[in-house]
Amino acid sequence: MPSLWVYILLALVAGACLPTQAGINAQLNRWTLSPVWTAAVSFAVGTAALIVYGFLTRGPLTLQGLSAETPWWVWTGGFLGAFFVSVTVVLAPALGAAAMVALIIAGQMLVSLGLDHFGLLGYQPHPLTLWRLVGAALIVAGVVLVRRF
């Protein structure tokens, strides 16, 4: 299993991708003139990249576990991703990278506290504590500072 530092580095790189992708997509939107079509192009390129990567790594393509018994909500991840990309196309030029990311992180943190507390969507339960609330409050305070100044 990779070291914790590998995961931390991956998280930082993934985090760096968010404002970069939003900025690139906002520029693409100048040609498509539609956040929805911009997101569709972005997803098409991403899908092509994943298909090529899957073939190159010879990862198995199995859909055996998918059936009528699969919960309906497991299909919503793609919808949420499409919504997210479409919205960042609008937010990036309107708010700027720092404020957009700060607000997104605040939203992620607030929902994450609930998901962790109740152990929803397969997450291991992590009870909501005073210190976790203080951490979330500091993130919200950071949003206010980034947005205001």
Domain ranges within the chain, ordered by starting residue: 4-148
Please give the full DSSP string across 71-129, using - where no structure is assigned: -GGGGHHHHHHHHHHHHHHHHHHHH-HHHHHHHHHHHHHHHHHHHHHHTGGGPPP----
Residue 93 scores a pLDDT above 70: yes
The CA distance from 83 to 131, in Å, is 31
Report phi then psi at 128, rounded to 5: -75, 120
pLDDT band for 103, please (50, 70, 90 cuts): very high
Which residues, other chains included, contact 21 with Cβ-Cβ below 8 Å and sequence gap of 6+? 42, 85, 88
The CA distance from 139 to 4, in Å, is 23
Burial of 63 (0-12, 13-18, 19+ CB in 10 A): exposed
| Structure tokens belonging to residue 94 | 């309107």
Which residues, other chains included, contact 133 with Cβ-Cβ below 8 Å and sequence gap of 6+? 113
pLDDT of residue 60: 75
Q: What is the pLDDT of residues 27-74, one digit of tens each?
A: 999 999 999 999 999 999 999 999 999 889 987 777 766 677 788 888
Residue 127 scores a pLDDT above 90: yes
pLDDT of residue 65: 66
pLDDT of residue 1: 78
Indicate the average pLDDT of the chain: 91
Q: Are 28 and 44 in contact (CB under 8 A)?
A: no
